[in-house]
Amino acid sequence: MTGTTHKPRLPGRPRSQEVDAAILSAALDLLIERGAGHTSIEQVAQQAGVTRATVYRRFPDKTTLLIQAIESVHQDHAPDALEWPDIEQMLGQWAAYLSNPRNRRMLRRLYGTVDDYPELLQSYRNSHGKRRAAAEHATLRRSLDRGELSQDTDLDVVQQLLNGAVLHHLGTYPDTESADAIKAYFMAILRQVGYQPASPTPG
């Protein structure tokens, strides 16, 4: 290439990443502190130090805003971020995430909306949950193929069991649990369905 290609500027004012971050942070803070039903665009704008119009230029409604606020704390947007090579690494990532008290409070708020604000949880599942569920199932399938799970194991049931275990942990265990303790909790559950990790290959 011998020349430089200049992209035409789009009309309107350029978006500020700092403003985006401030809005998402404010929305997440309010969701955690007050819940989805008691969070409004007006409150988010005030906390972020911007106008309502600034928020609406970026997010057409509260559900879209809250979904993106929740997704902003996930670190799995890269194409290969959810490609766990084995169950232990998958559970290690889950445990690290669940060892953060803020993440735990956010998830409790999210799942607590099922009756009063069901569209938020449904939108989250549609935009994030399906991709994550597919990656989880693929990891379980690899484990089955390696003989770490019995060949008659119902992977859908195991996946549901693990997801239920997450909710159980969020509701009954203290937010001070370490990542190692949380991973051990998941591993104990999997051992009850016959999971036996493959022995490491001698180096």
Asked if the structure places residue 118 within a domain, the reply is: yes
Portion of the chain with pLDDT greater than 90, in percent: 67
Based on the fold, state whether residues 166 and 122 are members of the same structural domain.
Answer: yes
Distance between CA atoms of residues 145 and 12, nearest Å:
54
Regarding whether 96 and 187 lie in a shared domain, the answer is yes
User: How far apart, in whole angstroms, are the C-alpha atoms of residue 151 and residue 145?
Assistant: 8
Q: Are residues 95 and 38 in the same domain?
A: no
Average pLDDT over residues 10-38: 83
Residues 120 and 168 grouped into a single domain:
yes
pLDDT, residue 101, reads: 95
The confidence score (pLDDT) of residue 132 equals: 87
Give the range of the structural domain holding residue 152, as residue numbers without chain letter: 87-191
Instruction: Judge whether 196 lies within some domain.
Output: no
Query: What CATH number is given to the structural domain containing 155?
Result: 1.10.357.10
Query: How many domains does one find in the chain?
Result: 2
Q: For residue 20, what pLDDT is reported?
A: 93
- Shared-domain flag, residues 106 and 185: yes
Same domain membership, residue 163 and residue 114: yes
Rounded-to-integer distance, Cα 49 and Cα 184, Å: 43
Provide the residue type at 32 as one letter.
Answer: I
For residue 7, pLDDT over 90 is answered with no
Average pLDDT score over residue span 182-195: 96
Is 52 part of a structural domain of the chain? yes
What is the rounded CA–CA span in Å between residue 192 and residue 153?
12
Output the pLDDT for position 16. 84
Q: Are 199 and 147 contacting, i.e. CB atoms less than 8 angstroms apart?
A: no
Domain assignment present for residue 78? The answer is: no
Q: What is the pLDDT of residue 80?
A: 53
Residues 94 and 176 in one domain: yes
CATH number for position 53: 1.10.10.60
Is it the case that residue 104 has pLDDT exceeding 90? yes
pLDDT at position 81 is 60
